[in-house]
Amino acid sequence: MSAIVQQEVSAASPLPGAAALDDALRHASPAEVIAAALRTVDRERLALVSSFGTESAALLKVMADVDPAIPVVFLDTGWLFQETLAYRDTLIRLLGLTDVRSIKPLEETLTLEDPDRDLWFSDPDACCRIRKVEPLARALKPFSAWINGRKRFQGGARADMAVVEQDDDRLKFNPFANVSREEIEAIYRSANLPPHPLVAKGFLSVGCMSCTSRSEAGEDARAGRWRGRGKTECGIHTMPTS
Active site residues: 234
CB atoms within 10 A of CB 136: 20
φ, ψ of residue 60 to 5 degrees: the values are -65, -35
Question: Rounded to a whole number, what is the largest CA-CA distance in the chain?
Answer: 54
DSSP calls for 148-194:
----GGG-GGGTT--SEEEETTEEEE-TTTT--HHHHHHHHHHHTPP
Overall size of the chain counted in residues: 242
Element (H, E) at 24: helix 18-25
State how far the Cα of 184 lies from the Cα of 187, in Å rounded to an integer.
Answer: 5
Residues 6+ apart with CB under 8 A from 24: 1, 2, 4, 5, 36
Strands across the sheet containing 72-75: 100-103, 72-75, 46-49, 145-147, 170-173, 164-167
Q: How far, in whole angstroms, is CA 138 from its chain's centroid?
A: 15
